[in-house]
Amino acid sequence: MKFGIVFGGNSFEHEISIVSAIAVKKVLKADLSFIFVDAFRDFYLIDPSDMRANFFSSGKYKNSKKLHLKKGGFATHGLFGTTLLDVECYINLIHGSDGEDGKIAGMFEFFGLNFIGPRLESSVMSFNKELTKLLAVKCDVQMLPYETIKRGEKPQTNLPFILKPARLGSSIGVSVVREEKELDYALDVAFEFDSDVLVEPFMEGIREFNLAGFKAGDEFEFSIIEEPQKKDFLDFEQKYMSFSARSSEEAKIDESIKTELKNAFMAIYNGGAFDGALIRCDFFVLDNKVYLNEINPNPGSMANYLFKDFTSSITRLANSLKMPRNIKIDYKFINSITSNKGKI
C-alpha cells in the first residue's frame, strides 16, 4: 500500500504534527510520500531523507517541490503538464485546525480521494469540546459536568477546576485552578488560544485511560488500553517532550472496566460517524464508572505505540475504506420544465 502522509497546517499544533509525521515515518513500514502544509497553506513534497524537525523550522522545506491538490490527488506542475503522486491512500495527520476541524476532510471528499481520517461531520463534532459533550449525550456515554464561558465571564464551577480552550488539543492552554488568585492568569492563557473556554471540575486521583481503534468493515479493532503516567493532568510537556521514545503497556484493570471502555468507544465511533478514521478516546474512570474526557480524531503519531502491529492495522483500515456515493446528475427536472414551458 502506498500512503501519502499529510501534515503541518495553519494550527497552534503545527509543530506537533511535524513530530507526529516523523514518528509515523519510523514505524509505518510502507511506501510513503510526505506532503507538508506550511503556515501559508502551500503544499510541498518532502523527500523522506529530509524528514527532520529542523528542516521545517529552518525554512529549508521551501526548496522542495510544490504540490497542487486536484481531482485524483496531489500533483506536481512541470513544463510538460502535471504529474500525480503515486499514492493509493492519504493519511490526514494534521492536528488542530485545518486537519481536525474538517477543512482537509472537505477537500479530500470534494476531490474524491481515498483517505484515513475523520470526515467532515465527525471533524466538526470532535474539534469543539462542547459539541463533543453533546455527542456523548447522544451516544449515552457519561461525561463530567461542565460549563462554557467567554472572555469577561467568570466560571460558576466550584474550585478546583480545569480550564480548556474549546477548540484545541495537545493540552495547549490548559490550566488547573485551585485558588481564586490563580484564576485571572489561567483565563488569560486559555483565551489566548480560543474565544470559548470549557470549565470542568478537577478531581484529584481520577484515573485516566486511552483507547485507540477503528472500524474495518463491520469489525472493530482496538489498541491496548493505556493508563498514562501523569502528575496532576497529562499536560503538554508530559505528552510530547519524550514523544519519539514513547511506548506503552496494557493497563492493569478489571475486565469489566475494559469492556465498558470498549463499549463507550464503539458508541462514540458509531454515533459520531467516524468511519474511515483511526481515533483515540481518552476516558476517566471514577468509582468504576467510565466518563468520556475527549476525542482525538487525528491522535498524536497515529497512536502507533498502542498497537501491536501498527503497519498491519493501518493497512487493514485503508483496505476497508469506502468511497462516498457518486450522485448521478441527469437533468431530468430541468429537461421536463423546458419541454413543457419552453426556455427558463
Q: Are residues 41 and 135 in the same domain?
A: no
* Overall average pLDDT of the 25-31 stretch: 97
d(CA 228, CA 239): 9
Per-residue pLDDT reduced to its tens digit, 174-185? 999 999 999 999
Query: Total structural domains in the chain?
Result: 3
Per DSSP, the three-state class of 54 is helix
Residue 63, in any domain of the structure:
yes
d(CA 106, CA 206): 37
- Domain holding 314: CATH number? 3.30.470.20
- Domain holding 35: CATH number? 3.40.50.20
Q: Identify the domain containing residue 46 by its residue range.
A: 2-116
Residue 327, in any domain of the structure:
no
Asked if the model's pLDDT at residue 340 lies above 90, the reply is no
Can you tell me which residue has the cell 468511497? Answer: 323
Q: Are residues 34 and 64 in the same domain?
A: yes
Confidence of residue 342 (pLDDT cuts 50, 70, 90): low
The CB density around residue 38, as the number of other CB atoms within 10 Å, is 16
* Overall average pLDDT of the 75-92 stretch: 91
Instruction: Quote the pLDDT of residue 247.
Output: 64
d(CA 149, CA 155): 7
Q: Are residues 168 and 266 in the same domain?
A: no
Q: Are residues 263 and 133 in the same domain?
A: yes
Q: Are residues 235 and 310 in the same domain?
A: yes
Per-residue pLDDT reduced to its tens digit, 193-214? 989 999 999 988 899 999 999 9
Q: What is the DSSP letter of 286?
A: E
Confidence of residue 246 (pLDDT cuts 50, 70, 90): low
* Overall average pLDDT of the 122-150 stretch: 94
Crossing angle of helices 120-127 and 129-138, in 10° steps, is 110
Residue 44, in any domain of the structure:
yes
Instruction: Please give the order of strands across the beta sheet that includes 43-46.
Output: 81-84, 73-78, 65-70, 43-46, 31-37, 2-8, 89-92, 115-116
Q: Are residues 163 and 229 in the same domain?
A: no
Residue 342, in any domain of the structure:
no
Q: Are residues 132 and 230 in the same domain?
A: yes
Instruction: Quote the pLDDT of residue 238.
Output: 47
Q: Are residues 157 and 209 in the same domain?
A: no
Asked if the model's pLDDT at residue 294 lies above 70, the reply is yes
Residue 47, in any domain of the structure:
yes
What DSSP element (H or E) covers 31?
A: strand 31-37
Instruction: Quote the pLDDT of residue 113.
Output: 95
The CB density around residue 77, as the number of other CB atoms within 10 Å, is 12
Residue 88, in any domain of the structure:
yes
Per-residue pLDDT reduced to its tens digit, 221-240? 999 999 998 665 555 454 44
Residue 339, in any domain of the structure:
no
Instruction: Quote the pLDDT of residue 232.
Output: 56
Confidence of residue 244 (pLDDT cuts 50, 70, 90): very low
Q: Are residues 131 and 83 in the same domain?
A: no
